Amino acid sequence: MSRTTEALVLHEYNTPFKLEQIKLDTLRPDEALVEIHATGVCHTDLKCATGSMPAKAPAVFGHEGAGIVLETGSDIQGISPGDKVILSYSFCGTCDSCANGDPAYCHGIVAYNFGGPRPGDGTHALSLASDGTPLNGNFFGQSSFARHAIVHRSSLVKVPAETDLELFAPLGCGLQTGAGTVTNTLNVQPGSSFAVFGVGSVGLSALMAAKIRQASTIIAVDVHPARLELARKLGATHTVLASEDVVKRIREICPPLGVKYACDCTGIPSVVANMVDSLGIRGRACTVGSPGPGPRAAIEIAGMLQFGREYTGCHQGGSIANEMIPWLIEQHRQGNYPIEDLITYYNAEDYERAIHETEEGKTIKAVLRWKA
């Protein structure tokens, strides 16, 4: 049975979102209907709205949703109506990567997260209520900029009944990505040094994870002094303004040649180059921020060879959401992961301000409240 709900609709690239009525299709066996209580606003949503990343308009975006299950398809197991869920990225579950425990690198990652129609049968789960125009949904398996969402089973993470959905909604993408970069991809070791380039929500999550991993030197690099102050509060031992000679400063902090682990959360090619240049002997660096397809960074080959440096990429922190999200909730319970310091809440009707303040850098992590 289909239903209508309210959602943020992007009709064309580089136009404002509009809050309007949409129609939800009948559930497929591998889908659930979720009443959305909160959705984090991610820069990926905003980049997709400009056409700079592989998502198609007209569409409903949103991929950091949290809510309560209302209905489940026949193929969904372990989750029932009434359960609280946090929503994460989607994957096929059958390719080599998924079978080997690496769903973040699913062979169908674009189709399952950016494709628009359902990857299984090519149908559209969403349409405009006014005239029936098909909308590209299935964004990260959820399209959760809405009061209700049709969610692919792979995106569902069941959480305890006492879970604060508004607080933990952003775990499904950005915060999971930052923490997973440190714990999975880089595997930061106790007593080591770590630098993070860009301390928005992803970078600050990485920083907190490095503190949890007991790195002894934690360096935050950013253009905003206020964000560097927050980084200090959350565990940075050193801060560097991006206007400084960043490579020189990091080598001074971590003599003689640089830092052991580093991640870039900006996606800016020159920043990536600086990050790699700041690595010490056998240093390992990771790209998290994405500029979209095309841009390249210049890497000094001799330094990579001589010092045994490594540079790799990372999607979703290499995380398995059903493991990472509960772990982060537990870290918060223990006082190790105070994400409330990052979040500003907005009622869904105030989405324009939430988006504007995210783009301006005034808000680190905006969360839209859909349920009063």
**Contact indicator for 41, 358 with CB cutoff of 8 Å:** yes
In 3D space, the residue among 206, 132, 145, 179 whose CA is nearest the CA of residue 354 turns out to be: 145
Q: Indicate the fold that domain 3-172+342-369 takes in CATH.
A: Quinone Oxidoreductase; Chain A, domain 1 (3.90.180)
Direct distance between the N- and C-terminal alpha carbons of the chain, in angstroms, rounded to an integer: 26
Q: Give me the residue label for tokens 């049709």.
A: 150
DSSP annotation string for 309-342: -EEEE-SGGG--HHHHHHHHHHHHHTTS--GGGT
Q: pLDDT band for position 1 (50/70/90)?
A: low
Instruction: Please say if the pLDDT value at position 284 is more than 60.
Output: yes
Instruction: Please say if the pLDDT value at position 326 is more than 90.
Output: yes
Instruction: Please say if the pLDDT value at position 294 is more than 90.
Output: no
Q: Which residues on adjacent β-strands are paired with residue 158?
A: 85
DSSP annotation string for 350-362: GHHHHHHHHHTTS
**Contact indicator for 280, 252 with CB cutoff of 8 Å:** no
HSE-up of residue 316 (Cα within 13 Å, Cβ side): 27
| CB crowding 314-338: b at 16 or more within 10 Å, else e | bbbbbbbbeebbbbbbebbeeeebe
CA distance 44 to 173: 10
Q: pLDDT band for position 115 (50/70/90)?
A: confident
The predicted pLDDT at position 120 comes to 80
Which residue type occupies 49?
Answer: A
CA distance 164 to 314: 28
CA dist 290 to 118, 269, 272, Å?
A: 24, 10, 11
| CB crowding 161-194: b at 16 or more within 10 Å, else e | eebebbbbbbbbbbbbbbbbbbbbbbebeeebbb
Could you tell me whether strands 156-159 and 84-87 are parallel, antiparallel, or unpaired per DSSP bridges? antiparallel
In 3D space, the residue among 286, 279, 287 whose CA is nearest the CA of residue 305 turns out to be: 279
Q: pLDDT band for position 371 (50/70/90)?
A: confident
Taking residues 123-143, what's their average pLDDT?
96
pTM: 0.96
Instruction: Please say if the pLDDT value at position 304 is more than 60.
Output: yes
Taking residues 218-242, what's their average pLDDT?
97
Instruction: Please say if the pLDDT value at position 341 is more than 90.
Output: yes
Mean pLDDT of the chain: 96
What are the extents of the domains in the chain? 3-172+342-369, 177-316
In 3D space, the residue among 224, 32, 237 whose CA is nearest the CA of residue 141 turns out to be: 32
Q: Give me the residue label for tokens 């020189």.
A: 248
Tens digits of per-residue pLDDT, 70-105? 999 999 999 999 999 999 999 999 999 999 999 999
Tokens of 124: 């559209």
% of residues, the chain, pLDDT over 70: 99
CATH class of the domain at 177-316: alpha beta
CA distance 17 to 37: 19
Taking residues 124-135, what's their average pLDDT?
96
